[in-house]
Structure 1
Amino acid sequence: MKKHWMLAGGLVGLLALGACSQGDESGGTLTVYVGFQEDHAVAAIDKFTEETGIDVNMVRMSAGEILAKIRAEKNNPQADIWYGGPADTFVAAQKEGLLHAYQSPEADVIPDEYKDSEGYWSGVYVGVIGFATNQNFLDDNGLEAPTSWDDLLDPAYQNELVMAHPSSSGTAYTALYSILESKGGDDPGFDYLEQLHPQIQQYTTSGSAPGRMVGLNEAGAGILFAHDIIKYQEEGFEDIVLSFPEEGTGFEIGSSAIIEGSKNEELAEQFIDWSVSPSAQEVGQTTSNYQNLTHPDAEEPEEAVKLDELTLVDSDPLEAGDRRQDIIDRFERDIIN
């Protein structure tokens, strides 16, 4: 069976946003690396500039790509803010001295489980891993939408399953960590991944790409965040079915942080203050992005999943971040190679 890997060369968009080159009255322009989908990213940065008057240069990438870029720029940082992507990638960056601690007073109301105790990152949304399945594929194979990780081992899914690669995608690492947790540890988790690998048609760079592929009938099923699946459904991909593994699924705490070495620390602090606010978190409602939110006063989209109706694995972003590179290295060695 022929396999395809898409591990590099993801599209990076550089957008200069703001009305003037000199920024706000305090001077300077923020450079922000954003891990949201592009429409959400543009709307959020526009909203920030509108509400604060601060100009922003935005670069949109996946979380894994952002982490790699910040690492590469450690000795000469080119950005001020990292905005969006799973907290475990922020924890990995924090361990390497790539983030700057800031205790935002606006983050005081964010529940402790959704932020770093020392202020290295603050959670702004929650995303849950789900299954996207094509209804035509299900009908053709006499299947119901999967409700267990083991359902994906059915022979019908061979070369029909799509997920991103965890080295480039925070979504994929969250899914990988979810599998290890739901299976009871690394060894049984990797035994499962060895069985799952022949089912994989393609490992994409982007974490949300599998949902579009399912919607376009290019794949039978995909593993990605539920809010991205809902977004594709709302955009008109009516054949996509959303379901969850009943034995447990993982979740991300999408975060924001100041990059160590920022040349605009005061402005960067203003961005963090804004990013945790209800105004910032509710931007997704205007761009059809359906994350669950961390601020108790922020109004979640009606379409967002109900977390209390799902079985969530006992996911610790600190442990997930500490172990991130070791787990990815084993995935490369034992599964890909």
Structure 2
Amino acid sequence: MKPLAIVLVAVLLAAGCSSQRRDKVTVACGASERWCAMMVKRFSDATGVEADFVRLSSGEALERIRSARARQEFDVWHGGPVDSYVAAKDQGLLEPYESEKSGEIRKQWIDREHTWSGIYAGVLAFCNNTKELGERGMKPIRSWRELLDERLRGAVAIAHPATSGTAYTALWTQVELNGGDQDAALAYMRDLHPNVLRYNSSGSEAAVQVAKQEAAVGVVFSHDCVAAQEQGYPNLEVTFPQEGTGYELGGLAVLAGAHNPDGARRYVDWALSGASQRLGPLVQFYALPTNTKVPAHSKAADPAAVKLVPYDVEVAGRAKQALVGRFRAEVAEPS
């Protein structure tokens, strides 16, 4: 083949690959594997746009997105607490987009500058294995202080805040319970450390560990424990800390530098819609919807029945990098 022909073939092949990449939406997904798989499939079914996903915990997603800033591998970020989205926004990693569906989302659960939108909400809870606790002479845990009991040595399942949005929610909850005192929050986490089984990379893993009786109690979002109950694991009971608890607002955003920005915006429109937000229970995902047209499922946590801390996601997000750095230095590195 002549040199010019070789060059032309290479250009055409590169153009074809580029076109394929532009036509596809790639999602960094921060919820459960089943939920992520269902969401991208239903989006493709509804729009005809090809989509796939990579399941990442929120800390992992933020790091991947930050590292690939110049050559972004994802178009959309979907799921996982918005604390990380706030951090990403401050680093210029998100592309503002005001969706046609934004007006259907509860106003307190959407960024004023439309760099991210809330897609679901979940309440932080204790997932108790009543059999394992009974063998330790304990009842289901209903207090952050009870979680420090010596009978729970090596029996508390929790993730690491460097990788897990669930764990960062737990850490920031301690900040709020201590009137904004980060030193006091870290002191609590140091006291809890001897009771920790190991620091997972993903928050939902704690529910599985409790369900399999590897741990006696886990710090999870309540819908993760409910999902484990529905998968046939016995002896599980959800409780909420009586001092107060935090909550996650699952996020959604178009990423700066997306290869397929038009497809990414279509994905956001679809994900904010009532049709999309009704899908969670099909895969035992019982978080609260943020779309005002979608009623909460009967198995979702009722915020009115739980004592919530005044969780400011903007403040929590901006404090995340420094606070997680202190956790790593003063409490533990990721497992």
Secondary structure, counterpart of 2:54 in structure 1: strand
Which residue, 80, 87, 91 being the options, matches 2:86? 91
Q: Which consecutive unaligned segments of at least 5 residues does structure 2 have?
A: 1-17
Structure 1 residue runs without a partner (length 5+)? 1-20
Counterpart in 2 of 1:209? 205
CA deviation vs aligned residue, 1:242-270 (integer Å, no higher than 9, x gap): 11101110011101000001121111111
Q: Indicate yes or no: 2:227 matched with 1:219.
A: no
Which one of the candidate residues 134, 141, 148 is aligned to 1:139? 134
Is 1:162 the equivalent of 2:157? yes
1:142 Cα deviation after fit:
2.3
User: What root-mean-square deviation, in Å, do the aligned CA atoms of Structure 1 and Structure 2 show?
Assistant: 1.6
Between the aligned partners of 2:279 and 2:19, the Cα distance in structure 1 is: 26
Larger Rg over CA atoms: 2
Q: Kindly, what percent of the aligned residue pairs are identical?
A: 34
How far does the alpha carbon of each residue in 1:56-109 deviate from its partner, in whole angstroms, 9 at most, with x for none? 121111111111100110011111100101011000000001000001121112
Q: How does 1:46-65 map to 2 (within 5 A)?
A: 46-65=41-60
1:22 CA displacement? 7.4
Aligned residue runs from structure 1 range 114-193, under 5 A: 114-184=109-179, 185-193=181-189
| Partner amino acid, structure 2, of 1:166 | P
Tell me the secondary structure at the aligned position of residue 264 of structure 2.
helix
The 8 Å contact of residues 105 and 290 in structure 2, kept in 1 or not, is answered as yes
Q: Secondary structure at the match of 1:203?
A: strand
**1:23 touches 1:53 (CA, 8 Å); kept in 2?**
no
CA distance in 1, matches of 2:233, 2:266: 38
Check whether the contact 1:23–1:55 (CA below 8 A) recurs between aligned residues: no
Listed one character per residue, the Cα deviations across residues 128-185 of structure 1 (whole Å, up to 9, x for unaligned) are 1111111112211222211110010111111111100111111111111112212332
Quote the residue 1:273 is aligned against.
269
Name the structure 1 match of 2:15: none
Provide the rounded CA distance (Å) in 2 between the counterparts of 1:90 and 1:238: 36
Distance 1:194 1:288 in 2: 34
Q: 1:248 is paired with a residue of what secondary structure?
A: coil
> Retained in 1: the 8 A contact 2:28–2:61?
yes
Deviation beyond 2 Å, 4+ runs, structure 1: 21-24
Read off the aligned partner of 2:154 and give its amino acid letter: N
The aligned runs of 1:1-337 (5 Å cut-off) are 28-184=23-179, 185-336=181-332
- Going from structure 1 to structure 2, the CA distance change for 1:182 and 1:224 (only over 3 Å counts) comes to same
Could you say what secondary structure the match of 1:172 adopts? Answer: helix
The answer on whether the counterparts of 2:141 and 2:217 sit within 8 Å (CA) in structure 1 is no
**TM-score, length-scaled by structure 1:** 0.91
Change (3 A) 1:23 1:301: farther
**C-alpha deviation, 1:113, in angstroms:** 1.2
Contact map agreement 1:227 1:291 (CA 8 A) in 2: yes
> Contact 2:104–2:293 at 8 Å: present in 1 too?
no
Aligned to 2:10: none
Aligned equivalents of 1:42 and 1:23: distance in 2?
21
- CA distance in 2 between counterparts of 1:299 and 1:22 reads 40
Structure 2 Cα separation of the partners of residues 22 and 262 of structure 1: 13
Asked if the contact 1:128–1:249 (Cα under 8 Å) also holds between the matched residues in 2, the reply is yes
Distance 2:135 2:26 in 1: 48
**SS of 2:218's equivalent?**
strand
| 1:197 shift after superposition | 0.8
Letter in 2 for 1:179: Q
Contact 1:278 1:299 in 2 (8 A): no
